[in-house]
Amino acid sequence: MSQKPPTSGESSFPIGISPSRTQQKGMKSYNDWIESLQLKHRLKSFIVGMEPTGHYWYNLANWLVDLGEHVVLVNPAEILRMSEHT
């Protein structure tokens, strides 16, 4: 996972919208964190689960998909229901 975040025009960000420098820095930090977890646990791949609430998940999900990562959307009500049974 040593790929860099895509630049404007190379990703699936909506036309006219590109991530700010702050978002790019956060995405790089996220990428570094995932890479360290993969090394620590000897994982070749992973699945990212996201609650699609608000608009905050959108850029990260698109960026991960652009990198070829597997992203799934999880219904927040299901998460709540599962947490009540543990």
Provide the angle, in degrees to the nearest 10, between the axes of the packed helices 21-41 and 56-66.
Answer: 60
> Is 9's pLDDT higher than 50?
no
Instruction: Give Cα separations from 57 to 17, 19, 48 (angstroms).
Output: 15, 13, 11
Q: What is the pLDDT of residue 19?
A: 57
- At 11-64, the pLDDT tens digits run 444 444 455 666 778 878 888 888 899 999 999 888 888 888 888 788 888 888
> Is 5's pLDDT higher than 60?
no
> Is 4's pLDDT higher than 80?
no
